[in-house]
Structure formats: C-alpha cells, structure tokens
Amino acid sequence: MPVLDDIYNTFTPEPLPAGSPKSVDFREVRGGNDVSIELGRRIRRSNDFTCQLFSGHLGGGKSTELLRLAAELKQ
C-alpha cells in the first residue's frame, strides 16, 4: 500500500526546540508532573551518573521535553 506508506512518511514528527511557541503544555494530562523538574532534580542531586527511562508514543513530545530539560540544566 504505497499510499499509506507515503502518508505515514509525510507526517514524521520533529522535536521542537526549547521554548518553542508551538509546544503544548501537557502537564495536566500527564498527572500534573513537570518532567524537566523531576528529571532535572535527579540529575542535579546525584553524585554519580544516572540513567533514566523516558518512554512514550511516537510524536508524544519526548525529545521536545528532553531539549527543554537540557536548556534548563545549561542555565
């Protein structure tokens, strides 16, 4: 089904840069948790390297959240 393949490949999600006005705040539907605060706290407080599992559906905003976290950690 080449038409379905074309449609699937047309809508490949791309991560949004930190602070993008296109970003939608999903904290409420995610249980009120701010991923960047929770992961950032663990990373900042740890004396050792940490490993965090961050999963979700394709296009769910994982990379966008991680870019936001990276920007906050750099500040």
pLDDT in tens, 21-62: 888 887 788 777 787 788 888 888 999 998 888 888 877 888
Cα radius of gyration (the chain): 15
Nearest 5 degrees, angle CA 19-CA 23-CA 24? 130
Answer whether 0.95 is exceeded by the pTM. Answer: no
Domain that holds residue 21: 2-74
Cite the DSSP H helix spans in the chain.
2-10, 35-45, 62-74
Instruction: Name the domain count of the chain.
Output: 1
